[in-house]
Amino acid sequence: MAIQYHKLFDLLRRRGMKKGELMELANLSWPTMSKLSKGQSVNSDVQDRICAALNCQPGDIMEYVPDEGAKERTERP
């Protein structure tokens, strides 16, 4: 899993927002919210709508965390 959305859910907690509120503000479906919760891929349109709804930057809602396989591939000579 490379992209994780822990930052998004931390931001919601700090702002006292529920997932349902974000879904309404950013026009997200339950399946999309489920994907975000599981760290699955969502398209950039979803990320754009979340950032617009929360008035934040992409780095505020997600981060790249390389998996072990990716680390090993980049460390090879």
Backbone phi and psi for residue 69, each to the nearest 5 degrees, phi listed first: -60, -40
Nearest to 27 by CA among 2, 51, 50, 5: 50
Q: What is the pTM of this model?
A: 0.83
pLDDT tens sequence for the chain (77 residues): 589 999 999 999 999 999 999 999 999 999 999 999 998 999 999 999 999 999 999 999 999 988 776 555 555 55
